[in-house]
Amino acid sequence: MISKKLQNIINEQITAELWSSNLYLQMAFFLEKEGWSGSAHWMYKQAEEEREHALDMAHYLMQRGGEAKVAMIDVVPEGWGSLLEIFEHVYKHECHVSELINRIVDAAVAENDKATQNFFWKYVSEQVEEEATAAEIVDKFKKAGEHGVFFVDSQLGAR
């Protein structure tokens, strides 16, 4: 049985993952409208991935005898500037999500809940990868410059 404290913090993370999914979905809509089909494709995939995280966490909670809940999901931004600015936002957001995941692991360690620690370690390592990927994309856009964004955008469509 999972503690109420861990259940609550995981439910907060489920809501955060769904907010992230909505954020990336809105970014995909914006990018598609602006004609950046490769970047839009990348964001659609990212939105799916975040939704899968939320479902995975909900199933984990229920397996441990907890109750999964979705709180109200706040509105996401609707407009951005350049591709570089969008992916800088993605990078900052992924860093924030890493902090949230670390908070869950810290709470599980404090409660000596090894099952929750083990379950969330995969998300700790996944967040390292997601931060690195976002940072790499930001770096590519910076190096590509104004004229190279079309090439980077097409690469992102291969995800």
- Identify the CATH number of the domain in which residue 119 sits: 1.20.1260.10
112: tokens are 């000596």
Question: What SS3 state is found at 158?
Answer: coil
- Does the pLDDT value for residue 12 go beyond 90? yes
7: tokens are 């259940």
- Does the pLDDT value for residue 159 go beyond 90? no
- Does the pLDDT value for residue 80 go beyond 90? no
**What average pLDDT does the segment 132-148 reach?**
94
d(C-alpha 74, C-alpha 26), whole Å: 13
Report the share of the chain in percent with pLDDT over 90: 94
Q: For the chain, what is the domain count?
A: 1
What is the pLDDT at residue 53?
A: 97
Host domain of residue 55: 4-156
pLDDT band, residue 51 (cuts 50/70/90): very high
Report the share of the chain in percent with pLDDT over 70: 100
Is residue 10 within 8 Å of residue 57, measured between CB atoms? yes
- Does the pLDDT value for residue 84 go beyond 90? yes
